[in-house]
Amino acid sequence: MKLLIMGRPGAGKGTQAAKIKEYYNIPHISTGDMFRQAIKKQTKLGLTAQEYMNKGLFVPDELTIGIVKERLSEPDCKEGFLLDGFPRNLVQAKELDKILEEAGIKLDGVLDINVDGQILIDRMVGRRVCKSCGASFHILYNKPKVEGVCDNCGGALIQRADDTLETAQNRLKVYDDNTAPLLEYYREKDLLLSVNGNQEVSKVFEDIKEVLSK
């Protein structure tokens, strides 16, 4: 299963990606997670990425394309992968086509988690993530059993630096201007699989399994 997952910020990509990874037993490759790891380790890449991420802007293409190319060449991607957060613009999409073609890999589909309007801002601003394992919760819609504590590993829940109201609004605009046109790009290639993301987490996942089974 070789997949991309797309959706506006706050659409629940990360939550569904974790389920897809487990169910289909494929690596989940998230460029956002890779950048956050690099920031945590304070590497050169991390320091550069942080400047852009905290403003809700894209990290420059050459850096992003480089880390994806490297990651996709690792052996665990041979049987399948779920690429999350990449590509985010047409330049990246065309580069991905090249990377896949050179590696003789054909995509099976591009999942689009479709969610509308204000709900996205609420989801982002209320989101809390585990500092240790990255699991995602929400202060209203997906509460942890104990406030501020991760259900999975007991780690501390924090708000992502780019989940503040201003940055969230900016990320949505940047997505709509740059990434949304990719849906048409993949529809034309007959790869687009749209799922209604305005539903409960478990129902969205049921719908994902259904479209993937076809």
Q: Which residues here bind ligand AMP, judged by CB under 6 A?
A: 9, 31-32, 35, 52-53, 56-59, 64, 85-86, 88, 92, 162, 171
Sequence-ordered list of residues with C-beta below 8 angstroms from that of 187, at least 6 positions apart, any chain: none
What H or E segment, with its residue span, contains residue 150?
A: none
* Residue 36 designated active-site: no
**CA 197 to mean position of chain CA atoms:** 14
Note if 127 is an active site residue. Answer: yes
Side chain identity, residue 147:
E
Complex with ligand AMP: residue 79 or 176, whichever CB lies closer: 176
CA distance 192 to 105: 17
- Is 15 or 205 the residue whose CB approaches ligand AMP more closely? 15
The reply to whether 187 belongs to the active site is: no
Distance CA 36, CA 174 (A): 19
- Give the nearest residue (CB) to ligand AMP: 32
Residue 86: which of 56, 106, 66, 108 has the closest Cα? 66
Min. distance of Cβ 206 from ligand AMP in angstroms?
24
Nearer to ligand AMP, 58 or 81 (CB): 58
15 bridge partner residues: none
User: Minimum distance between the CB of residue 194 and ligand AMP, rounded to whole angstroms?
Assistant: 19
Number of Cβ atoms within 10 Å of the Cβ of 151: 15
User: Is 8 annotated as catalytic?
Assistant: no
Residue 150 vs 172, nearer CB to ligand AMP: 172
Name the minimum Å distance from CB 214 to ligand AMP: 26
Q: How far is the CB of 165 from ligand AMP (least distance, A)?
A: 15
88 is catalytic: yes
Distance of alpha carbon 181 from its chain centroid, rounded? 17
Residues tagged active-site: 13, 88, 127, 160, 171
